[in-house]
Amino acid sequence: MKPGFPDAAGSDAPPQSPIAPQALSLDSTIRFDCHPAIACFNACCRNSDVQLTPLDIIRLKRRFGLSAARFVARYTVPFEMDHHGMPGLRLARKPASSACVFLGEEGCGVYEDRPLACRYYALGKMHVREKRAPQTGERYFLVREDYCEGHGEPVRLTIRDYLARQGIPEYEAANRPWMDIIVRKRSAGAAIGAPSARSLQLFDMCSYDIDGFRAFVQQSGFRDIFDLPEGEMETILASDENLLAFSMRFLRQVLFGEQSIGMKKDAREKRMAARRPAWRQ
């Protein structure tokens, strides 16, 4: 089964077997390969559980020529990432089946734009805190499902090469600010409390509706409050990827009070007139 998510996102241990207990680093060597001639080809996609990241949505909706909202409505299933109702999305499955909606006769129907979780499999990542280390570090682990024959293939490669081969660094760079927000919220736990409904809506839009966020920042109400230097908004609007990076800055500002986007002098009064989002109201 494709893992729910490649990154344990701040937890200190892999959630459950079949995760191999050995923690691996970028320079660790693994033995694994996956290719169309392998006997188990697509076995993992026939029982899929793929959590989506913001860049997954952008790449896939672009592939289908759909708006983000239409893609989400057609091909995803919502779920709650935690008991506070943090919105998450999974890829839909075929009707009356556990197979991924994109699985076809020839294999993955969206291979060039397959989600990050699919690129990771059969590898996972977790955050660990070493003794006396000030910050968490990243460790990797193998997921050994009985049916996956990739572990018996003769190919040996480092984790670093595996990630590069799967195009993972590009996805991680774009998604990192989003992951950081989730980890930060999760780490704060009870100190932050339950997010407001407005905060959850903003998280949902910034994470999964890049076209909705584009319309949001182009509204006069946004420009009345935020003071972006000449030309910066043009750069932000030039690509969905740029817009995603800006949406995460915006999210950190409204959720955690990080002042990375300048505000107009009279913005405070205007802001007071609007509902100010916060994790807890």
Q: Which is nearer to ligand SF4, 30 or 100 (CB)?
A: 100
Q: Which is nearer to ligand SF4, 147 or 197 (CB)?
A: 147
Q: Is residue 43 a contact point for ligand SF4 (CB under 6 A)?
A: yes
- DSSP secondary structure letters along 123-160: EEEEEE--TT-SS-EEEEEEB--TT-GGGGSS-EEEHH
Near ligand SF4 by CB under 6 A: residue from 1, 30, 118, 126: 118
Q: Is residue 148 a contact point for ligand SF4 (CB under 6 A)?
A: yes
| Residue pair 140/125 in contact by the 8 Å Cβ criterion | yes
| Least gap, CB of 97 to ligand SF4 (angstroms) | 12
Q: Binding segment for ligand SF4 among 16-24, 35-43, 158-166, 206-214 (CB under 6 A)?
A: 35-43
Q: Which is nearer to ligand SF4, 151 or 186 (CB)?
A: 151
Near ligand SF4 by CB under 6 A: residue from 23, 40, 92, 267: 40
- Cα 134 to chain centroid distance, Å, stands at 25
| Residue pair 79/24 in contact by the 8 Å Cβ criterion | no
**Beta strand segments in the chain, E:** 29-31, 76-80, 87-91, 103-104, 107-108, 123-128, 137-142, 156-158
Near ligand SF4 by CB under 6 A: residue from 71, 75, 121, 141: 121
Near ligand SF4 by CB under 6 A: residue from 42, 166, 196, 253: 42
Task: Please give the size of the binding site for ligand SF4, defined by CB under 6 A.
Answer: 25
* Nearby residues of 210 by Cβ (< 8 Å), 6 or more positions away: 54, 57, 58, 61, 68, 240, 243, 244, 247
Q: Is residue 45 a contact point for ligand SF4 (CB under 6 A)?
A: yes
Q: Is residue 168 a contact point for ligand SF4 (CB under 6 A)?
A: no
- DSSP secondary structure letters along 256-278: H----S-B-TTHHHHHHHSPPP-
Report the distance separating Cα 242 and Cα 23, nearest Å.
Answer: 34
Q: Is residue 139 a contact point for ligand SF4 (CB under 6 A)?
A: no
Q: CA angle at residue 64 from 60 to 65, to 5 degrees?
A: 110
> Residue 271's closest CA among 205, 117, 257?
257
Near ligand SF4 by CB under 6 A: residue from 8, 24, 30, 44: 44
Q: Which is nearer to ligand SF4, 110 or 179 (CB)?
A: 110
Which residues contact ligand SF4 (rule: CB under 6 A)?
2, 34, 38, 40-45, 48, 50, 100, 102-103, 108, 110, 114-115, 118, 121-122, 147-150
